[in-house]
Amino acid sequence: MLDQIMRSPTFDYIERGLSAANLRHEVISDNLANINTPNFKRSQVVFEELLAKEIYGDGDEGKLPLVRTHDKHLPVGKFAPAQARVERDDSTTMRADNNNVDIDMEMASLAKNQLYYNALTRQLSGHISKIKSVMQGGES
């Protein structure tokens, strides 16, 4: 039973979100570390858009997705779960040395990512508390 709980969509989404936030932190740190490196191009992590497409499909925002309720059911026709990926931004240049890292933008991204990570950890904690309460028969 515990195995079924741990394989729930909620845990899966939160786990992938936390992994994306961790990767994003590493990428932003790399961008900041190379702020004065000539010809360095910043990178960014893409995840939330991919997750939205996984959940809602293309152009079906607001519609409930079709899901499998049992492992032996036929696949729904979905592809592999969305995973965070790093994309390099070669389209811009901030300075004469071809570096495109903007410290203000990177620091804002870092703060936003920290809020995102904190929200996910609170969500995970709340979900675990609910499961614990159900397993204890509603007693706290």
Domain annotation covers residue 37: yes
Distance in angstroms (rounded) separating the CA atoms of residues 12 and 100: 34
73 has a pLDDT exceeding 70: no
Domain annotation covers residue 52: no
Domain annotation covers residue 34: yes
Domain annotation covers residue 128: yes
Any idea what DSSP says for residue 82?
Answer: P
Q: Which domain holds residue 119?
A: 2-47+83-135
138 has a pLDDT exceeding 80: no
Residue type, 41: K
HSE (CB half, 13 Å, CA atoms) of 64? 3
pLDDT in the model for residue 113: 98
Domain annotation covers residue 118: yes
pTM of the predicted structure, to 2 decimals: 0.78
Candidates 32, 13, 29; CA nearest to 84 is 13
| Domain count of the fold of the chain | 1
Interval 90-131: pLDDT, tens? 998 888 999 999 999 999 999 999 999 999 999 999 998 988
Domain annotation covers residue 74: no
29 has a pLDDT exceeding 90: yes
Q: Mean pLDDT over residues 63-72, rounded?
A: 68
Domain annotation covers residue 9: yes
The residue written with tokens 């932190």 in the block is 25
CB 15 within 8 A of CB 110: no
